[in-house]
Amino acid sequence: MSSTKAIEAVGLVKRYGEKVALGGVDLEVPRGSVCGLLGPNGAGKTTAVRVLATLTEPDGGEARVAGADIRTDPVAVRRSIGLAAQDATVDGLLTGRENLVMIGELHHLGRRRARSRADELLERFSLVDAADRLAKDYSGGMRRRLDLAATLVAEPQILFLDEPTTGLDPRARNELWAVLDQLVADGATILLTTQYLEEADRLADEIVVIDHGRVIARGDARSLKREIGGDQLHVVCADADDLARVAAMAERIAGAPAKTDVTARSVTAPTDGGAAAVAALASELSRGGIEVEDLGLRQPTLDDVFLTLTGAPAEPAADEALEEAA
């Protein structure tokens, strides 16, 4: 296995009874990069993280993390990684500073170094003003920042982040993304699972799509979007009753089947007609007296990729069902 890879896995298998959580997963994550794991609920994302973090024994395959074998040298793996699970794991009855100092001491940093490391991380995560407040009184965004700070106390080379921004409002999510950007700029490697396609698009150098325990696609966001086609005619109707008529018009002009989203009152159809297709559809809509809220060309989104590859839209997820069963 290559020394340029922070994480390298070949044929990982994990079963829970008759259920196959991982059915031979291959994964390579170069040092200093971000890899995003996407997949429907129960696809195996969290299982993959747990196996690579040595929290769960694989039933087959091999993997190395930071150069150490997850089976034969799990202690070395754990010394090299930080893990932030879906739920914040900080102690709500301790202050932010006390949480970080305690974790530093558990990592045998020594009292003085643990305190100085806590101060460094409180500054880095903009938590200095709240350092001496109980963690239970923190907002959701502050708790997630504190949780991430806790994973960095021992200065790990590799971070495993399982749904790092679940439950955060957009502002808190953007703040945490900025922190992750800085960590990568400083040389960290990140493997993250996420329910937010925007997050994968924003953060990940490579996206790996998992379904039913197997990798079904991989690549950067742009290449995955290219795989399912180019430009799309996109219309948002003012009145949902017009959707059928608009879909028929879009199909006729695009020469391809249109998809209708009743909830969004939208119609989308792939086209290679460019601006001329938009003009033709606008003309037909005008002649038909159909009012629209939006009309134009758009590129496929990661949501489109997800739907095409897995047959289901991305859904907000808590812990995956197989891990809960285990």
Report whether 212 contacts 43 (CB < 8 A).
yes
d(CA 128, CA 207): 34
Give the domain ranges of the chain. 5-225, 231-298
Q: Residue 51 gets which letter from DSSP?
A: H
Residue 48 tokens, joined: 């993959």
Among 7-11, 250-254, 310-314, name the one with the lowest average pLDDT.
310-314
pLDDT over 90 (residue 232):
no
- For residue 225, the number of C-alpha atoms closer than 13 Å in the C-beta half-sphere is 15
pTM for the whole structure = 0.76
Edge to edge, the sheet with strand 214-219 lists 81-84, 158-162, 189-193, 34-38, 206-211, 214-219
Q: Residue 134 gets which letter from DSSP?
A: B
Burial status of residue 3 (CB atoms within 10 A of its CB: 0-12, 13-18, 19 or more): exposed
pLDDT over 60 (residue 317):
no
At the topology level of CATH, where does 5-225 sit?
Rossmann fold (3.40.50)
Question: Alpha helices of 81-219 — where are they, by DSSP H?
Answer: 96-106, 111-124, 140-151, 170-185, 197-203
Q: What phi and psi, each to the nearest 5 degrees, are found at residue 114? A: -60, -40
The predicted-structure confidence for 37-60, as pLDDT tens digits, reads as follows 988 778 899 999 999 999 999 999
Q: Are strands 34-38 and 206-211 parallel, antiparallel or unpaired?
A: parallel
What is the per-residue pLDDT for 228?
67
Domain 231-298 has CATH 3.40.50.2020: no
pLDDT more than 70, % of the chain: 93
